[in-house]
Amino acid sequence: MDQKQIEEIVRSVMASMGESQPQAPAESAPACSAKQCAAPSAPSAAESCALDLGSAEAKAWVGVENPHRADVLAELRRSTAARVCTGRAGPRPRTLALLRFLADHSRSKDTVLKEVPEEWVKAQGLLEVRSEISDKNLYLTRPDMGRRLSQEAIDALKAQCVASPDVQVVISDGLSTDAITANYEEILPPLLSGLKQAGLKVGTPFFVRYGRVKIEDQIGEILGAKVVILLVGERPGLGQSESLSCYAVYSPRVATTVEADRTCISNIHQGGTPPVEAAAVIVDLAKRMLEQKASGINMTR
């Protein structure tokens, strides 16, 4: 069915609706007072969706009509990024609240589907390798392939990376492109600097495209690393697409390392754990792992 046929159907339906619903005589309309017939008040800028849905003003919007304590609601709204004080229109959400929900949902979807630009990786001076995944669609449908390096990646790591480091740092896009590009400059330089100041042998940092968490086990095995630190984009929340996670593991092995062997630091972003602060925590974590020769649930506090 082409566009012309669709338009014909729409016109015929609209015409039949017009015939079946004749207008009532003007004299049958009930009289109304001047107050009742007055034009409705113009909607606010927020309700007319004139605001940028990502702006600070839109995020601070309070949708509760005629609140008893407006100052309390405003303070509550400022204290959290959660969807509070949105108000209702009968059983339904207010227009702006619904549009912000849809906008945040779209933002989260976008960061999953976007690619980290190759130009960005080159600008950071990082070696780029890949898992067995060839594109984003395969990455989302075959997580098992994202846990293994391609043969080209294995050869590149053996040829270009420092062997047997104390700590190997790996960056991967994971499920959030924004998490990598937004936090990289504030977490990697202080992290590498802190590890070196601690007297540790640091491996060559590199970027893995389409990587899953377990890929760090194969990396550690190939390079003979004592500790592998993987910085990977978290699955985005609603409106929060810049959250980074750190997965650290001691002496990983593909065949024997399980999820309980990993130590995770999550929610690394400007609205959570600041990247610079996270870098210091990761350095301390790596030192304790090397001292205890353990990670995950095997570490003592």
Model pLDDT for residues 161-198, shown as the tens digit of each residue: 999 999 999 999 999 999 999 999 999 999 999 999 99
The yes-or-no verdict on residue 1 having pLDDT over 90 is no
How much is the pLDDT for 56?
Answer: 77
How much is the pLDDT for 246?
Answer: 97
Average pLDDT over residues 252-267: 95
Bridge partners, 26 (sequence order): none
Which tokens belong to 2? 């082409």
Average pLDDT over residues 65-75: 90
Residue 290 host element (H or E): helix 275-292
Going by the annotation, the residues of the binding site are: 213, 234, 264
Of residues 188 and 22, the one with the higher pLDDT is: 188
Helices (H) and strands (E) in the chain, counts: 10, 8
Query: Per-residue confidence at 40, pLDDT binned at 50, 70, 90?
Result: very low
- HSE toward the beta carbon, residue 270, CA cutoff 13 A: 10
The yes-or-no verdict on residue 97 having pLDDT over 70 is yes
Contact 248, 169 (CB under 8 A): no
Of residues 40 and 144, the one with the higher pLDDT is: 144
Contact 161, 127 (CB under 8 A): yes
pLDDT cut 70: percent of the chain above it: 84
Going by the annotation, the residues of the binding site for adenosylcob(III)alamin are: 213, 234, 264
Per-residue burial over 100-132, b if 16 or more Cβ lie within 10 Å, else e, is bbeebeebbeebbeeebeeeebeebebbbbbbb
Average pLDDT over residues 26-36: 46
Neighbours of 160 (CB within 10 A): 11
Q: Tell me: the pLDDT tens digits for 237-248?
A: 887 889 999 999
Query: Per-residue confidence at 78, pLDDT binned at 50, 70, 90?
Result: confident
Query: Per-residue confidence at 45, pLDDT binned at 50, 70, 90?
Result: very low
- From CA 167, how far away is CA 248, in angstroms rounded? 10
Which tokens belong to 56? 């600070």
- The residue type found at 4 is K
Domains and CATH numbers, the chain: 126-298 (3.40.50.11240)
Q: Tell me: the pLDDT tens digits for 113-154?
A: 999 999 999 999 999 999 999 999 999 999 999 999 999 999
